[in-house]
Amino acid sequence: MLRRYRPSPSMGVALVALFVALGGSAYAATGGNFVLGSSNAANKTTGLTGSPATGAALSVTNSTAKQPAAAFTVQGRTAPFTVSSKGKVANLNADSLDGIDSTGFVQGNGQAYGASLDYPADSSGTDHVVTVAPGFMALDLYCSAPSASATAGFGNISAQPANLFYALDVGATPQQGFFDIPAGNPNWAGFNLGSGDAGSGMLDLSMQGGPGGQEITTVRVAGKYRSATTDCHFQVQAVTTNS
């Protein structure tokens, strides 16, 4: 009688592995070996711990020109990788910071100023001088109780004359204008940014002057009088550049 040949379980596994290998592809899953040149999948973290005397524990090199050495793919806006150190990585360039391109930051010889300021209301409207560009431009912020208003002024504190353009957005009637400011003249022309709890105003300034007339400062001031707490809140942002 003819007997039917039945391969052993181990022989079956070997045959399947041989079939896959001859097919030109391989697939490693959780618990299996990592197969180079093929797709690998796992539902647990794959770790590598090394202690080389010098150099990295893992090095990946792509010898094909203009092709990356590694790629990271995630779902949605999840960070593609994490790091455990704040150390600077040489030659690592960032295209944007919090979605802002590099052109949105101060370039070259410049400086930036930003502040959130609160001042109590009083009957005299005490002056609070804030220097937004040292040696060039200052703001005068005050909070007046009788008029219940948050007010901002500006001044040229340099030894050179300056030109200033302003745009005020308060209520339904925006204003704009131009000033020639002599050297060292604070010229605290006040702009009402907000009265009572009716809302806040916005003042945009752009002043050019300083040594050689090359310094430019742009300022945005937001202000609001808060009757509930009888004080004024100001937000100030300024950028100074040298053209």
User: Cα separations (Å) of 175 from 47, 138, 170, 202?
Assistant: 63, 21, 8, 11
Residue with tokens 């010098």: 54
pLDDT at 22: 47
Backbone angles phi, psi at 39, to 5 degrees: -75, 140
- Look up residue 181 and give its amino acid: I
All structural domains of the chain, each given as residue ranges with its CATH number in brackets, are: 10-41 (no CATH), 110-242 (2.60.40)
* Residue 74 in tokens: 């995630």
Phi-psi region of 79 (alpha: psi -120 to 50; beta: other; left: phi over 0): beta
Average pLDDT over residues 138-153: 87
> Has residue 178 got a pLDDT over 50?
yes
Rounded to a whole number of angstroms, the CA Rg of the chain reads 33
* Residue 72 in tokens: 């990271």
Looking at per-residue pLDDT, the higher value among 227 and 105 belongs to: 227
Q: Is 19 helix (H, G, I), strand (E, B) or coil?
A: helix
Looking at per-residue pLDDT, the higher value among 195 and 211 belongs to: 195
Confidence of residue 190 (pLDDT cuts 50, 70, 90): confident
Q: How many CB atoms lie within 10 A of CB 67?
A: 8
Share of the chain above pLDDT 70, in %: 74
Residue with tokens 């370039």: 107
Confidence of residue 203 (pLDDT cuts 50, 70, 90): confident
pTM: 0.55
> Has residue 231 got a pLDDT over 50?
yes
